[in-house]
Amino acid sequence: MRVFNFSAGPAALPEEVLRQAADEMLDWRGSGMSVMEMSHRGKEFISIHEEALADLRDLLDVPASHRILFLQGGGLGENAIVPMNLLGTKETADFVLTGSWSQKTFKEAHKYCAPHLAASGQTADGFTRSPARAEWQLSDDPAYVHLCTNETIHGVETFDIPDLGDIPLVADVSSHILSRPLDVAKFGAIYGGAQKNIGMAGVTVVIVREDLLDRALPICPSAFEWKTVAENNSMYNTPPTYAIYIAGLVFKWLKKLGGLKAIEARNIEKSKLLYSAIDSSAFYVNKVERASRSRMNVPFFLADESRNEDFLAGAKARGLLQLKGHKSVGGMRASIYNAVPLEGVKALVEYMKEFEQRQA
């Protein structure tokens, strides 16, 4: 029996993607090979790779000014890879902090420059908001401004993306990429690990404005130098071929559903349902400012935290899995990525109501 999987990542995948992957495992379309067995330079895999690139460009409406790269190392890897690629001759970059992930990004940047804290959404309740552009205090000459547009752990999403003019805006979009349309033209670069909305862990998508490809530090490893990766069409080193294949299947699934506007509508419906259930009850609480509430990651607390283990055990018994909150925050967290169906959220909300009634 398939469960409803609320994992923050690696996370649920569309069942039809998994079925197709299983069906094609031993023989991809008459090639006599699994996709895992194909040379990355053979015509079979090149067709898979090109189609994934084209579908992602189409879905996100990536402008011609931007290149799409497939790398390895995930978001945490990019915390070093971004400064090594974008600092050029500048001595600082600016950081907007909205949660644990952007905190880590800020910390790692100290290895390569003197980073500047431009704004923080930290309050007495932890990270609960995304500071508006008017609150950002930029330094005089930053190489770029970094933002994490969806904080997986704290459930803080940034909906208003400012236009910074000549200063490249760089965003970690790992946990909400492809959940809604995004104006990629506003960014110098965006990056994201695949293990939330794109596919399986092991491939990192980087979308970077082509004119920024000449700013790498000499110490940047060739395998992670975006210019080298771009010049070799993501094949400077052997790419994570199977992860790219799975991502391609997910892109096709999204296109069939109607693209990002259609999935956004579904995600709005799902997240509204869950936040309404939380807000309409005194037993559950979410501390994030309404305007910054993530549609992907919904952390919540039980009024009586001594019931946490019971809550999780009861959920598991109904096939509602991986609802435990991140250890740094506690409580619960429901990650409701693209592949989590509305039925899953309905089942969760129903369970939450029943669990609350049982406490009375």
Residues comprising the binding site for pyridoxal 5'-phosphate? 101, 152, 172, 195, 237-238
Write down the residue that tokens 């939330």 correspond to.
196
Selecting among 101, 252, 253, 324, the annotated active-site residue is 101
Contact 268, 294 (CB under 8 A): no
Is residue 21 a contact residue for its own copies (CB under 8 A)? yes
120-140 burial: b if 16+ Cβ within 10 Å, else e: bbbeeebbbbbbeeeebeebe
* Pairing outcome for strands 4-5 and 320-321: parallel
Q: Which of 73, 105, 113 is nearest to 229 (CA)?
A: 73
We find the least distance from the C-beta atom of residue 335 to its own copies, in angstroms, to be: 10
Among the candidate windows 33-41, 278-286, 291-299, 342-350, which touches its own copies by CB under 8 A? 33-41
We find the least distance from the C-beta atom of residue 135 to its own copies, in angstroms, to be: 29
At 182 the three-state DSSP class reads coil
- Tokens standing for 48? 């898979």
Selecting among 28, 55, 172, 287, the annotated active-site residue is 172
Task: Name, in order, each residue with C-beta under 8 angstroms of 266's C-beta and a sequence gap of 6 or more.
Answer: 257, 338, 342
**Please, which residue, 26 or 185, has the CB nearer to its own copies?**
26
Here's the x/- map for its own copies, 196-235, by CB under 8 A: it reads as ---xxxxx--------------xx-xxxx-----------
Distance CA 124, CA 137 (A): 21
Is residue 54 a contact residue for its own copies (CB under 8 A)? no
Neighbours of 210 (CB within 10 A): 13
Q: Which residues are annotated as a binding site?
A: 41, 101, 152, 172, 195, 237-238
We find the least distance from the C-beta atom of residue 328 to its own copies, in angstroms, to be: 12
Is residue 26 a contact residue for its own copies (CB under 8 A)? yes
Is residue 29 a contact residue for its own copies (CB under 8 A)? no
Is residue 2 a contact residue for its own copies (CB under 8 A)? yes
**Please, which residue, 72 or 92, has the CB nearer to its own copies?**
72
We find the least distance from the C-beta atom of residue 36 to its own copies, in angstroms, to be: 4
In the window 117-176, what residues touch its own copies (CB under 8 A)? none
Distance CA 284, CA 300 (A): 6
Here's the x/- map for its own copies, 312-331, by CB under 8 A: it reads as -------x-xx---------
* Pairing outcome for strands 150-151 and 4-5: unpaired
What secondary structure does DSSP assign to 215-264, as a single string? ---TTS-GGG-HHHHHHTTT-SS---HHHHHHHHHHHHHHHHHTHHHHHH
**Please, which residue, 188 or 239, has the CB nearer to its own copies?**
239
Q: For residue 320, which amino acid is it?
A: L
Q: Which residues are annotated as a binding site for L-glutamate?
A: 41
Distance CA 215, CA 250 (A): 32
Q: Catalytic residue at 172?
A: yes
We find the least distance from the C-beta atom of residue 101 to its own copies, in angstroms, to be: 11
In the window 228-257, what residues touch its own copies (CB under 8 A)? 236-243, 246
* Pairing outcome for strands 204-209 and 122-123: unpaired
Element (H, E) at 145: strand 145-148
**Please, which residue, 223 or 273, has the CB nearer to its own copies?**
223
Contacting positions for its own copies (CB under 8 A):
1-3, 5, 7-13, 15, 18-19, 21-23, 25-27, 31-34, 36-40, 42, 45, 72-77, 79-81, 84, 108, 111-112, 193, 195, 199-203, 218-219, 221-224, 236-243, 246, 319, 321-322
